[in-house]
Amino acid sequence: MDFSDFFRQHNADLVSLQENIDTSTPSGRLFYNMVAVMAQWEREEISDRVKASVAIRAKLGKPLNGKAPFGYVWKDKKLQPHLEEGPVRKLMYELFSEHQRKKTVARLLNERGYRTRGGSRFTDTSVDRLIRDTTAKGVLRANFTRRVGHNKPWALKPEHDWVLSDIEPIISAELWEKCNSLLESRRTTQQRPTRRVAHLFAGLTFCECGTKMYVPSNSPKYICTACRNKIPEIDLEGIFLDELKSYLLSPEKVGKYLSDANAIIGDKSAQLETLQKELQKAVREAERIYQLYMAEGLTPQQFKELYNPNDIRKKQLEAEMPRLQAEIDLLKIDGLSSEYIASEAKDLNACWPSMSYQERRSMIESLVKKITIGKDEIDISLCYLPSFKEMTNGQRTL
């Protein structure tokens, strides 16, 4: 149809000997228009059939198009965690939960020698996209985007068109929600990450009237500005330690602790295996570049541009592997038993002063939901038992 309009605008005719088309005659123009209309109809029919099949394939959990998300791989038409990328994807969430800064997470991943699937360095944009992706918590979204025009970004479809499938998760739903809640709050409020707080329980301590309690510069106490309720910092810290110690001695919590400890060791072992494979790739790439240079396939400048980034990454991997191996060895050396945990819980008061401020604050942020200060009682709402990693971090300072 476009060709027909073009020829007509330029007072020209189309003659095709193979198809017996001659638009210089009325019958030829009729036949040509009929063929063009049928072709347009068939094209639109094919488009509709393809669109209809997308939703069906999505509901069946089959791949639609594109590559699997970072950390996953399509195997037997099912999305499964990637043995090498999965631990890196999980580490990304853990680092963001700890540091709460996308650029910091990208920098730490790059410094440890990790790279994207394409070999590029991680950026705050790639970290943001991967953290928001629901596949990590075991939910695969399909048929949720559409093209809005040529050279234009994708747009989200209405949620009733989305197809959600359960897959094997890489992280817990709680960790995913924690990271995404932080990202969403910053997006809606347009606030930059705040500076580190100066007091251990800042932002978590509330008066029974509902007002947040802060420590003014002229007093070592958490004070409610509404009703003047107050509690000394040192008293609140002692009460927290007593509550945490009794929490650690719970048999149910100890059982979960041991399970989490073994999972931490498994995760770090998977990370180490990924680093070992990445180092082998970097060594092979360095050898390939060198051989290409020796065969005069590269100029000295080209050799330098290709070899130097790969050499930097190789050194990063070589530096990260002993550090990670040392963490694994430390975790294995520490006795994993209920008696050991009970002993550590009883010695918590002795360990606490030796921990750095940041280690204590990180443990409090991970454990405490809310502290409510009343006139006659204090309510401390704990989230969960500290992870094995958090506990061993504290032991390292002794």
- Provide the 3-class DSSP secondary structure of residue 126: helix
SS (H, E, C) 131-187: HHCHHHHCEEEECCEEECCCCCCEEECCHHHCEEEECCCCCCHHHHHHHHHHHHHHH
* Exposure on the CB side of residue 66, measured as CA atoms within 13 A: 7
Give how far the C-alpha of residue 384 lies from the chain's centroid of Cα atoms, to the nearest Å. 22
Q: What is the structure's pLDDT at 395?
A: 42
C-alpha to C-alpha distance for 184 and 265, rounded to whole angstroms: 31
Neighbours of 343 (CB within 10 A): 11
Please enumerate in sequence order all residues whose Cβ is within 8 A of that of 365, keeping only pairs 6 or more positions apart, or say none: 204
Q: How confident is the model at residue 106 (pLDDT cuts 50, 70, 90)?
A: very high
* CATH for 72-189, options being 3.90.1010.10, 3.90.1750.20, 1.20.59.10, 3.30.200.20: 3.90.1750.20
Taking residues 165-183, what's their average pLDDT?
Answer: 89
Alpha-carbon span 143 to 131, nearest angstrom: 20
Q: Decide which of 130 and 242 is more confident.
A: 130
249 half-sphere exposure, CB direction, 13 A CA radius:
12
Residue 39 has pLDDT above 90, yes or no: no
Write the burial class of residue 39 (CB in 10 Å: 0-12 exposed, 13-18 middle, 19+ buried): exposed
What is the mean predicted confidence (pLDDT) over 141-149? 70
How much of the chain exceeds pLDDT 70, in percent? 77
Mean pLDDT is highest, among 8-22, 128-142, 157-171, for: 128-142
What pLDDT, on a 0 to 100 scale, did the predictor assign at position 377? 84
pLDDT value at position 346? 57
Please tell me which of 85-89, 155-159, 386-390 the model is most confident about, judged by mean pLDDT.
85-89
pLDDT band per the 50, 70, 90 thresholds, residue 335: very low
Say which residue, 291 or 67, is predicted with more confidence. Answer: 291
- Residue pair 384/367 in contact (Cβ under 8 Å)? The answer is yes
CA distance 20 to 22: 7
**DSSP states of 215-273:** --TT-SEEE-TTT--EEEHHHHHHHHHHHHHHHHT-HHHHHHHHHHHHHHHHHHHHHHH
Domain locations along the chain: 2-57, 72-189, 248-282+337-395
* pLDDT reading at 51 higher than 90: no
- Average the pLDDT over 36-64 and give the result: 74
Q: What are phi and psi of 206, to 5 degrees?
A: -130, 150
Q: What pLDDT, on a 0 to 100 scale, did the predictor assign at position 33?
A: 81
pLDDT value at residue 388: 43
pLDDT band for 56, please (50, 70, 90 cuts).
low
**Higher-scoring residue by pLDDT: 387, 354:** 354
Chain segment 223-280, per-residue pLDDT in tens: 898 888 888 888 888 888 887 777 666 666 666 666 766 777 888 888 999 999 999 9
pLDDT of residue 268: 86
Q: What share of the chain is helix, strand, coil (3-state, %, to 5)?
A: 60, 10, 30
Give the range with max mean pLDDT: 43-57, 197-211, 295-309: 295-309
List CB contacts of 215: < 8 A, sequence separation 6 or more: 198, 199, 202, 221, 222, 223, 233
Q: In whole angstroms, how large is the CA radius of gyration of the chain?
A: 30
> Which uninterrupted H or E stretch holds 60?
none
Mean pLDDT in residue range 24-38: 82
- The more confidently predicted of residues 360 and 4 is 360
- pLDDT in the model for residue 392: 46
- The residue-averaged pLDDT of 381-398 equals 47
pTM of the model: 0.59
Q: 131: pLDDT confidence band, cut at 50, 70 and 90?
A: very high
Give the DSSP letter string of 262-291.
HHHHHHHHHHHHHHHHHHHHHHHHHHHHHH
Q: Is the pLDDT of residue 309 over 80?
A: yes
- The values of phi and psi at residue 135, to 5°, are -60, -30
Smallest CA-to-CA distance from 168 within 78, 277, 273, 33 is with 78
The chain-wide mean pLDDT, for the chain, equals: 79
Question: How far is C-alpha 167 from the chain's CA centre?
Answer: 16
Higher-confidence position of 229 and 4 = 229
Q: Which residues contact 237 (CB under 8 A, 6 or more apart)?
A: 200, 201
pLDDT at 394: 44
pLDDT exceeds cutoff 60 at 340: no
What pLDDT score was predicted for residue 118? 87
Distance, CA of 339 to CA of 279 (rounded, Å): 40
What's the pLDDT band for 384 if we cut at 50, 70, 90?
Answer: very low
Q: What is the pLDDT of residues 60-98, one digit of tens each?
A: 666 666 678 899 998 887 888 998 899 999 999 999 988
Predicted pLDDT at 91: 93
More confident residue, 253 or 205: 205
